[in-house]
Amino acid sequence: MASHPNLDPELRAELEKLFVPVFDASTATMEGIADHRAQLQVMLAGLPAPESDVVIENRYVRHPDGGPGLRLRVYQPAGSGTGRPCFYWVHGGGMILGAPEMDDHTLVGYAERLGCVVVSVDYRLAPEHPHPVPVEDCYAGLVWTVENAAELGIDLERLAVGGMSAGGGLAAATVLLARDRSGPAVAFQLLLSPMLDDRNATPSSHEFTESVFWNREANLFGWTALLGDRMGCDDVSPYAAPARAEDLSGLPPAFIDVAELEVFRDEDLDYARRLVQAGVSTEFHLYPGGFHGFDALIPATELSRRAVETRFAALARAFQR
């Protein structure tokens, strides 16, 4: 990837200095996922806590299948308040990895700068919990957030749902569920490099057999974990792969961004186009020279700063009344 002619020069220079731990799907096994998760937990435990007055607490609610222990990580701006906007967040990790804590610094930033309550859902992961468990967990957490809006000081007219990568795909699916079940009224969706299409048939899906973080092989691995042998079949639900949805009308306004040099590029381009054609107001950004997760890995470049500020601006506009 560092030799790709379109790679942003600042990103290229920084990549040459970094050791980037890459999820290697060629050697990964479904049984070995636990080792990757354990390594992630060790890394998260070593991260310093955000220096902020934002109050972070874990809340535990029932899973949609009746079991206890669905964890929601709540970020409250300092001081008591009511009528605050809410940003409901779904973490990434390819459907197989991840935890809310890996986004602590990012979500604290949203709470500080936008004065919003943030709720991040710790959905159950594949392959132990295949579709529909992850998206049903995400939807259950959203319903809980709405039902407890008064306690959390949330203005339900300013409820946004967002996520990154696999979390972006689950966020899009959660919004589809909310529409189709006449559930929570979502005002805005913020989808960052969302993982939307299990068919893996687009040009970019085939192009990026090598990437910094998430290449074609890893993507096939993640979708297989979620769907098993059904991956790519005709009967896959749009609540598993939102690109499968035939009708995108009636969805809330959307923001979608994606990098030029990643597998998700073309499916995200297509989803944005279809949203617009369905009458959904949509803002779309394609970051030239970027790769999947470039802004998180190398935040100090001009491209990374621009991507982050553009997201803040979009969410701030969505929260205006």
How large is the C-alpha radius of gyration of the chain? Answer: 18
pLDDT tens readout for residues 250-298: 999 999 999 999 999 999 999 999 999 999 999 999 999 999 999 999 9
Q: Is the pLDDT of residue 79 over 90?
A: no
Task: Give the span between the Cα atoms of 33 and 29, in whole angstroms.
Answer: 7
pLDDT tens readout for residues 301-321: 999 999 999 999 999 999 996
Q: Is the pLDDT of residue 19 over 90?
A: no
Please tell me the pTM assigned to this model: 0.95
- State how far the alpha carbon of 12 is from the alpha carbons of 193, 240, 300, in Å: 20, 34, 13
Backbone phi, then psi, for 85, in 5-degree steps? -65, 160
Which DSSP symbol is given to 245? -
Per-residue model confidence (pLDDT) at position 24 = 66
Task: Give the span between the Cα atoms of 248 and 256, in whole angstroms.
Answer: 14
Q: Looking at residues 191-216, what average pLDDT do you find?
A: 95
